A and B are shown apart, each in its own frame.
Chain A
Amino acid sequence: MAEPAVRRAQRRRTPTSTWPIHLVLGVAAVVMVVPFVWQLLTVFKTTSEVSRVPPTIWPNEFSAHAFETFFSTVPFWSMFAVSVGALVLRVAGQVAVAALAGYAFARMSFPGRDALFGLFIAMLMVPSQLFLIGQYQLIRDLGMLDTLPALAIPGLFSAFGTFLMRQAFLNLPKDFEEAARLDGANPFQIFWYVMLPMVKPMLAALTVLTGLYSWNDLLWPLIVSPSGENRPLPVGLAGLQGQFGTDYPTLMAGALVCSIPLVIVFLVLQRQFFRGIANSGLKG
């Protein structure tokens, strides 16, 4: 009875048996990347070639016209600089603020701690749109519409980030702090030299998640850059689409050029991306 089952189980373990899996996954992966491939092919076509029916798959001749139009009409580098600036500001600020608060919530005792943490958790559960009107008002009243800091300011503070950092610090053993304290280190020194290095994976995770969010965000930048100055890439791209509604090669070129930087960062740091998502996923 057990004999054939064992043999079957062993057979299933042989390397050849994974080919159906690769077949299914391969087909799925192809479907997944078709939009990108189509985008890449379109970029090199002319506007008239793109509107042909049936469509040509391979470009008749490789034209750089789309890139020329894109770079001559869109201030790509200044948009890019705004996107990067907002991202750096937001990530650095949020990681610092959240790590400090997360550490205090996890490792210090002070009156009202649990109630205050409850307030963070409560805000964590509210969808972000509920804050937009008030945040906009604050930025406007401070005279900061259309400025770079306006893009980053709300994101400097994050209930989610604080929560993640608290979780990370909660999981650390107590002995290190104890030893450092006996050596005369003050709480900030303990935090900075002893505890923070131990939560590096979570710092990386938070960096990746916040960076991704900052880079991709459309709604907030749309609201706080009404005049069009200091626009990050998503807002600028949306504007390009309004301007060149049917010039698909130029639109595809813009979409490609604006997306490439983060894709490259992802390809280099993919482990951090995956771990960041998985960490926040399992612990959120």
Chain B
Amino acid sequence: MTNVTAKPARRPAGRRAGGTQPSGWWAVAFVAPATAGLIALYVWPFLSTLVKSFQDVPAFGPATFVGAGNYANLLGDAEVWKAFGNSALYTVIVLLGIPLAVALAALIEQAGRGRTIYRVLFFLPVVTLPVAIGMVWRFIYNGDFGLLNYVLSWFGVDGQYWVADPRFTIYAFGVVGIWMGLGINLIILGAGLQAIPKAVYEASALDGAGRIRQFFRITVPLLSPSIFFVTILTVIAALQMFDLIFIMLRSVNNTALADSKTIVYLFYEKAFVQFEQGYGAAIAIVLLIVIMIATALQFRLQKSWVFYG
């Protein structure tokens, strides 16, 4: 398997590297299941996706190498560009939920009694099936008798077909994405808030700083590592959005689907509906590259705003 089996002999108890136990076969037995699974179900599939991205893989019959053909097709494929654009737009919208989460987390932290109730309420979408969430929001977004258009009519705003008109679908998904992600973000940010020493607030209060000022001068800078972490997680998850589009458009044959596909949806369609696995694999590889670039970019940018006290 790997070179973990190279040293079977048990070493004498006195010689320990860095305080860890001498282990030999025991270590092999401990890591073998995880390693076997990792190789069979992750490393090998990853490599096979990489190889397939350079192949034409018909549903039946042998695959043939086409060099960078899939990637060349991908670059000239308007559907792919559209999907990346949709995923990017969705990601930007969902990112707007982070300032909201920071503000709410700070408020919850100061709420004293009732904190848990708020956390539970905001967390409910996290423990609700995403499929169910998609169904409920599809109903709310319904253009003819949906709740959203009804509420908008109170303010004299014209209703729209939010998930049937491709001009609005991604924004409609984005709102649901913010709503769905809030609960997790609040918990992570809440844990970060509790790590900020109370003395800092007390000292600044003595200096006459009000709550708003404290929020921007103390809370946000000291919380910035957590905010950064939440941002990284949010971007990665948003770039992989699939469930909402599947449930709100695909499962009901909504015609807006053609213009609303996200990267992962397009990947699913190519690889598992049309069984063009070579092309699907190339899309997946590009997704990997995009996520890596987005993450690397954020690590670059963090130097200018994340404060490690």
- Complex: A252 Cα to B131 Cα, angstroms: 11
Interface centre among A28, A104, A135, A188 (most CB of B within 10 A): A104
B130 touches A131 (CB 8 A): no
Contacts of B22 in A (CB 8 A): 109
Roughly how many angstroms separate A274 CA and B105 CA in the complex, as a whole number?
Answer: 14
**B141-184 Cβ-contact flags toward A at 8 Å (1 or 0):** 01011010010010000000000000000000000000100101
Q: Is the pair B147, A116 in contact by a Cβ cutoff of 8 Å? A: no
Nearest A-chain residue to B194, judged by Cβ: A278
B118, A138: Cβ atoms under 8 Å?
no
Number of interface residues of A (CB under 8 A): 111
- Residues in A with CB closer than 8 Å to B111 are 18, 21-22, 25
Convert A270-284 into 0s and 1s, putting 1 for each residue whose CB lies closer than 8 angstroms to a CB of B. Answer: 100110011001101
Binds A, one of B41-49, B71-79, B301-309: B41-49
Assuming the contacts A110-B7, A111-B6, A277-B184, asked whether A251 and B288 have C-beta atoms less than 8 A apart, the reply is no
Chain B: minimal CB distance from A277 (Å): 4
In the assembled complex, the CB of A205 is this many whole angstroms from the nearest CB of chain B, namely 12
Interface residue stretch chosen among B90-98, B216-224, B240-248: B240-248
Within 8 A of B (CB), among A236-273: 237-239, 241-242, 245, 248, 251-252, 254-256, 258-259, 262-263, 265-267, 270, 273
Contact of A255 among B19, B132, B190 (CB under 8 A): B132
Q: Is the CB of A233 within 8 A of B26?
A: no
B34 touches A97 (CB 8 A): yes
B43/A119 in contact, CB under 8 A: yes
Interface footprint category on B: 35 or more
**Nearest A residue (CB) for B137:** A35
Within 8 A of A (CB), among B78-118: 104, 107-108, 110-112, 114, 116-118
Residue in contact with A50 in the complex, picked from B16, B38, B145, B291, CB distance below 8 Å: B145
Contact A255 B271 (CB under 8 A): no
Q: Flag B263-302 by CB within 8 Å of A: 1 or 0 each.
A: 0100110011000010011001101100110000000000
Known: A100-B33, A237-B132. A181 touches B21 (CB 8 A): yes
17 contacts between A and B (CB under 8 A): A6-B206, A8-B205, A22-B111, A25-B114, A104-B26, A104-B30, A116-B31, A127-B284, A129-B267, A130-B284, A132-B272, A135-B41, A157-B34, A191-B30, A223-B272, A254-B135, A273-B123
Chain B residues with a Cβ under 8 A of chain A: 2-4, 6-7, 13, 16-24, 26-31, 33-35, 37-38, 40-49, 52, 104, 107-108, 110-112, 114, 116-133, 135-140, 142, 144-145, 147, 150, 153, 179, 182, 184, 187-188, 190-192, 202, 205-208, 211, 226, 229-230, 233, 236, 239-240, 242-243, 246-247, 251-253, 264, 267-268, 271-272, 277, 280-281, 284-285, 287-288, 291-292
Query: A-B pairs with the 7 shortest C-beta distances?
Result: A134-B45, A157-B37, A101-B34, A255-B132, A104-B30, A281-B188, A108-B23
